[in-house]
Amino acid sequence: MADITFSGLPGWIGDAETLDRIPDQYKNRTLTHYFGNQNCHRLPASPRNSFRRHRNTLNELAVCGWSYFRNVDNNRRPRVLLDTVCSCIDPGIPDLICEPITRYVKVLRRVECQNGVYVYRNVFEPVHVGCVAVAIPPSVRAGDDGVRMAQ
């Protein structure tokens, strides 16, 4: 596999090994909170004044905030990756939802054991790097009761 890098374009991976093709016994991911507010925040009416005064990092200033988590897996090299989790699904703005931004990174992943020796392969693994507000498609905006249908 050539040394390439790209962001969230899974179609560019082609026949490369991806995490979903790895046997479950070689996936042991744990997430532990590392940094950032895990609570959902709403933008104040005048964000220029009070909001900026108390928040100064991108994950706190964004409409769809996120917190950072240590993604640890002993079956992978590097063993620790920094991942993010969106703080909210609903940013409090009509017709928008918060979605994670995904980047695919190449890691060495333990994929099998042959004669007592672990075998590693290059694998593209999804890592969330932030969150963004996206428009809800009209077909899923609201049900008959007016409640958003998007998850």
User: Where in the chain are the domains?
Assistant: 10-140
What was the pLDDT predicted at 11? 57
Give the tokens for residue 127: 């890592």
What was the pLDDT predicted at 33? 79
Q: pTM for this one?
A: 0.70
Q: How far is CA 52 from the centre of its chain?
A: 25
What was the pLDDT predicted at 79? 94
Query: CB atoms < 10 A from the CB of 111, how many?
Result: 16
pLDDT along the chain (151 residues), means of 10: 47 62 71 76 55 68 91 94 92 91 91 92 91 85 52 46
CATH number at 10-140: 2.10.90.10
Give the tokens for residue 132: 């963004």
Q: What number of residues does the chain have?
A: 151
